[in-house]
Structure 1
Amino acid sequence: MKLIYKGKFNGNPDSLPHGEHKEGAVKFKEIDDPKKLGLIMNVLSIFLLIFLEGLCAIRSGIVFNVFGALLALLSMFPHEFLHAICFKKEVYLYTNWKQGMLFVIGCEDMSKTRFIFLSLLPNLVFGIIPLCIYFINPQYSILGTLGVFATTMGIGDYYNVFNALTQMPKGARTYLYKFNSYWYIP
């Protein structure tokens, strides 16, 4: 894997690196309107945040630790790096802080299992594992807060996993082309 920082994303999907578009590939059924997708993901994030905070409150009270929240923000680049290491070839990192965007994109195709692992890895490392440690020992409120916020920040990754699980048939491979995911049967 070779990580290449491309700087600010200009909003034009045609400017993104892309590999060969496979003949007969099927585009994932995704929400195409970026504003609508952003609104839906933000609403789902709020519901997930409320749910996770509710679980924490049941366990030991509402959890909020300033340092945990700061760690969640600081985990944004490492989150993307964990996505990046799941690629075998070149992967490109983009930012657009005005729109709250930070993402990696690679041009290679991969199995459904690898795509799901790629999507979930950072959310496990920065979200689920710290949250589980907090549930075992609530004195680690820093990990509880990190886990709640990092899990919530991964909502777009869960959307990708949902699409892969519900749309890709057995044996299919997937790849990113511009801003969309596609699947095909080799």
Structure 2
Amino acid sequence: MDPLVVTAVLDEPAQSRLDALRRRHFPPERNHLDAHVTLFHALPGEHEAEVAAALTAAVRRAPPEAVVGAPRLLGRGVAFRVDAPELLALRADLARTFGAWLTPQDRGKRELHVTVQNKVPPDRARDLRAALAGEAPAPTAVVALGLWRYRGGPWEPVATFPFAEVTGNRAPAP
């Protein structure tokens, strides 16, 4: 069964900006997806129900805040760092839940980013990173978690899990 991918969904202004950069700078023949923040790259597809249950429980809180920070060079691409301590803590909780299912790549993940360019010559990547270096950090919110099925290139959406809004003393929605 095809593996599952879990992403963090950013608010609309940040998502639109990053999508536009990705469309402009990612090789079109390789660009099968919108811009995204991957939390887990490859959870076992046969555990979809358990993964969905864990994500449902994880979003019963206020949306984590994040800052889309400075661009960084990936060698053959460029990504924006995403600073989101609350989201990293949530990810760590989920990693404990998914424990035995984690690949080495998912076990070692300690930072978050959004790739806007990949699989290009290194000089093109350096030029884009230099062009984007002056952009100010952009505050955003993580509005949901996304669950996807990896289909060998394109991803198939499975479900979106919006974060609960917490107002005053009201409890998060179930």
TM-score normalised over the length of structure 2: 0.30
Looking at secondary structure, tell me which structure has more helix per residue: 1
User: Greater Rg, structure 1 or structure 2?
Assistant: 1
Looking at secondary structure, tell me which structure has more strand per residue: 2
